[in-house]
Amino acid sequence: MATFHQKADCVLCGSRELEQVLTLGAMPIATPNFRVVDGSVRQDAERAAPLNLMLCQSCGQLQVGHVGDPDIQYPNYVYRTSLSAGLREHFKGLADTVLQLRSNLTSPRVLEIGSNDGTLLRFFQERGCVVAGIDPAHAIAMEATASGIPTTAAFFGEALAKDLCDKTGPVDLIMANNVIANIEDMADFSRGIAAILAPDGLFTFETQYGPDVIDGALLDTIYHEHISYFMIRPLAGHFLAHGLRIVDVEHIDTKGGSVRVFVEHAKTPASARVAAWIAEEERRGMFVAAFFSPLNGRVAEIRKGLSAVVSDAHAAGRAVAGYGVSVGTSTLLNQFGLSRAIAFLADDDLAKEAHLAGPDYRIPVRPPSALIDEMPAAVIIFAWRYADAIIARHGEYLARGGRFVIPLPTMRTISRQ
């Protein structure tokens, strides 16, 4: 069974004029984000799939060249929003911000696409809103519904939007956080937004900002589930083609650099900030291949440094471990050639699967106590955004001569020697 396919046309404009601007190491479609039980499907999902970034020559969209089968990925999704450190506080602030923009509404109707366990919708519900979620992860959708957040287990698109609108009417606020980058058929998605959004409604989404990924060498955010690495100019053109308009944009810090985008029906004019964002993207030359070239050098430099860490440890007869089991770990193992160099992975979530598997590796996953039990020469923190908290919890490992290695955005080491 094919678990991935080549994406030969642009997600936003449909053009087939795609230029490869970044070549990365192949990696499996299977990641810790979803759990496939069927043995033959799982085996196919664990084989290496090409991972390259393509630039649309027509509109400037940046996207991966191969994508996974969503019918395999998302019904088997296991990631839960409520487990992400700091995300609840972020979503609370987001709910307050959006409701201030529509303070004239009494009990507004709120729809979230990719609502997961309902963490964000619960903040809207507590503020008197009528909420509903849509998410294709069946088990998570059922759990959310049972907890009081009514959630439809389905993929969002025009047909579902029209059906919901016929049954319950248009919605005032639509939310979609860290989800539209995962959508292959953006035309169907945007037609759905236009169909269900109230005449004066507001669609707000957050997504990784493509230039931040390139500038910050955020390799752990590049994988097959993340089809798009959006920039504002191509997004603005796409929405306008579907009767919608980006009216404002904010830069936010989540995931190493993201944007919060506000969209309304096209009758609403855009703020001056939108034009300023587009002008800056054009000034920096973000729509030509040369913009992406420096990242290749940074990746090579980090790979060389990590290789030296591994070589030194193995020469001394000692092991190297990793910390953190996530989709980002899957990416970094393959991009830095570490898949066969890591003795084990430590993770705070004891519910993680017993191994992280790929085409040529099957790495054991162990509790954090393994750092003391086995005393590896170095621990590469794949969950690098949480490095400070991880290091603070493992002072004993450092005191005994251990060393932490933080790979991104530039490699650095922490030790007491």
Closest to 407 measured CA to CA, from 391, 385, 374: 385
What's the pLDDT at 416? Answer: 86
* Ordered DSSP codes for 60-98: --EEESEEE-HHHHGGGB---GGGSTTHHHHHHHHHHHH
pLDDT exceeds 60 at position 1:
no
Residues 48-89 pLDDT 10s: 899 999 999 999 999 999 999 888 888 878 778 776 767 889
Please give the residue that has the higher pLDDT: either 73 or 309. Answer: 309
Mean pLDDT of 32-49: 77
Above 80 in pLDDT, residue 42?
no
For residue 397, what pLDDT band results from cuts at 50, 70 and 90?
A: very high
DSSP assignment, residue 244? E
Mean pLDDT of 313-337: 94
* Average pLDDT of span 386-409: 96
* Domains along the chain with CATH numbers: 81-265 (3.40.50.150), 295-414 (3.40.50.720)
Select the more confidently predicted residue: 128 or 33. 128
Q: Average pLDDT, whole number, for the chain? A: 93
User: In 3D, which of 190, 172, 184 has the Cα closest to residue 266?
Assistant: 190
- pLDDT at position 37 is 64
Tens of pLDDT, residue by residue over 103-118, are: 999 999 999 999 999 9
Residue 270 is predicted with a pLDDT of 96
How large is the average pLDDT for residues 367-384? 97
Which residue type sits at 258? S
Confidence category of residue 161, pLDDT binned at 50, 70, 90: very high
- Strand-pair category, 66-68 with 4-6: antiparallel
> In the prediction, which pLDDT does 38 show?
66
Residue bearing the bigger pLDDT, 34 or 407:
407
Mean pLDDT calculated for residue range 282-309: 94
Rounded to whole angstroms, the Cα distance separating 317 from 312 reads: 9
Average pLDDT rounded to a whole number, residues 180-198: 97
Average pLDDT over residues 200-221: 95
Question: Given strand 244-252, what is the order of strands in its sheet?
Answer: 151-152, 130-134, 109-113, 171-177, 197-208, 258-265, 244-252
